[in-house]
Structure 1
Amino acid sequence: MNDTGQRSAIVTGGGAGIGAAVVASLLERGYAVTAIDLHFDRKHDDPRFLPVEADARDEGRCRELVSSTPDLRLLVNCAAIRPEAPVLDQTVEGFRAAVDVNLTAAFVLLQAAASAMDAGGSIVNVCSAAAYGKRHLAAYGASKAGLVTLTKVAALELAEHGIRVNAVLPGTTDTPMLQQVRRPSSSGGRSPRNVTQLVLKPAEVASSVVRVAEDPMLSGAVVPVGLLPYEW
């Protein structure tokens, strides 16, 4: 896909929502982008865009994609599933699935990408305010809390290699995943956990992801997008 020395990025969950918005933003900034997802709501008519229909849990396939991507500069871990159930009703199968997609797959890609990157490489993990506790999101929240810790540990260990690792923590964002589970508030409207009290757009979160990814002075940070610290 990229034999011109152009900088490359890999985005998991790049077929819809925040991941798709990140892909679009990176293409605008001149990256060659490999996007991994089960299916794609949007495909760009751009020779620098490579959509790969694959499961982020497929370790062999993901490691192969990393090894075949020249001049890899950026990894964005955005793939996620969001099972919702009271803790007493949450199935072990659903809990394991959330950990596998949201945390283990991110670890595999992080490990593979960091091994392939030169100094100056960047990794951004898309987390969630649910990492700090939210009713009915034990599986999702626990997996995202693990991703926060993975971010901090990887930042410490990869600093000597010149690779930065950060996380972004979006407030309520209008994505297909949220639309599937969102319930109206008592007033009949949405109840976003955002500073503006408005539901964020994926492009707004993607803009923050790119800023964090490209800030050479930032590593080990968990950056809230539209959230105040007390809302975590």
Structure 2
Amino acid sequence: MKAVALVTGAAGGMGQAIVRRLALDGFRVVAVDRGEAPLLALAGRLRGEGIEIEPRVVDLADEAGIDALIGGLPPLAALVNSAGVFDERPFFDVSQDDFRRMFEVNLIAAASLTQKAAARMAPGAKVVNIASRAYLGARHHAHYVASKAALVGYTRASAMELAERGILVNAIAPGLIDTPMLRALTPERRAAQLALQPTGKAGTPEDIAHAVSFLAGPAMSFITGQVLFVDGGKSLGGSGA
């Protein structure tokens, strides 16, 4: 019987690559997203490659939906909290509602799902949270930065709490990644972002997927509570964008 990996935000730019990689790694992958059409499109594309996944449409803000999802699956071997939202706003334009939305999706949904999944996980299971290099600080999205910093803090705290159960919890902090979000920027804004990269280029969703594979795989047994930067060296220094 295959080990089960659950990936949220599966229809997103990074989520799709993570789903594909874990399936190729031999997991039975449950791909979760709230958008039915893109999720089914992903399942169809992968089926064309001979890769089968299990798409599940779930709104992670719905606690009953999370309960039904986790209760209907065997104990997870890996949970990847990849679902997230992003928004750019000048500092003085960020409202309380903007903060609430960021924290509800980027932190609370991940924490709720982790708590419910971990209660049934066996020793050796893994949790991987997709944070962001921006948690170190960045301009124009204080609410996003704060939510990802909170996710990193939650990663460290939950790693300590779950160590006695033999569950490893880590985070990945992507930098500038070539996703539809990046391609939607104006050419000028995109060029400005690339100019800040020590490598001079953006990463790929597959770069993130490889990192998830490393942390979520069965061979991993002694890394927990850590943040793995996958950002082409941007976290080494320089002004935030």
1:128 equivalent to 2:132? Answer: yes
Superposed displacement of residue 29, structure 1? 0.9
Residue type of the alignment partner of 2:206: A
Residue type of the alignment partner of 2:54: L
Q: Structure 2 matches for 1:70-219, cutoff 5 A?
A: 70-180=74-184, 182-185=185-188, 189=191, 191-192=193-194, 194-214=197-217, 215-219=220-224
1:230 equivalent to 2:233? Answer: no
How many residues in Structure 1 have an aligned counterpart in Structure 2? 226
> Normalised by the size of structure 2, how large is the TM-score?
0.87
Superposed displacement of residue 47, structure 1? 7.7
Which of 16, 20, 32 aligns to 2:16? It is 20
- Cα separation, partners in 2 of 1:24 and 1:198, compared to 1, 3 Å: same
CA RMSD of aligned residues (A): 1.9
Q: Could you tell which deviates more after superposition, 200-209 or 54-63? A: 54-63
Looking at structure 1, the residues matched to 174 and 211 of structure 2 have their Cα atoms a distance apart, in angstroms, of 9
Any idea what SS the aligned residue of 2:77 has?
strand
Looking at structure 2, the residues matched to 35 and 213 of structure 1 have their Cα atoms a distance apart, in angstroms, of 15
Residue type of the alignment partner of 2:99: F
- Structure 1 unaligned blocks of 5 or more: none
Residues 122 and 163 of structure 1 are in contact (CA less than 8 Å); yes or no, is this contact kept in structure 2?
yes
- Structure 2 unaligned blocks of 5 or more: none
- Cα separation, partners in 2 of 1:178 and 1:63, compared to 1, 3 Å: farther
Match of 2:69 in 1: 65
Superposed displacement of residue 226, structure 1? 2.9
Q: Could you tell which deviates more after superposition, 85-94 or 7-16? A: 85-94
- Cα separation, partners in 2 of 1:195 and 1:56, compared to 1, 3 Å: farther
Residue type of the alignment partner of 2:101: A
Match of 1:31 in 2: 27
Superposed displacement of residue 83, structure 1? 1.5
Q: From the two aligned structures, give the one with the greater helix fraction.
A: 2
Q: Could you tell which deviates more after superposition, 71-80 or 145-154? A: 71-80
> Normalised by the size of structure 1, how large is the TM-score?
0.90
Superposed displacement of residue 80, structure 1? 0.7
Looking at structure 1, the residues matched to 76 and 109 of structure 2 have their Cα atoms a distance apart, in angstroms, of 18
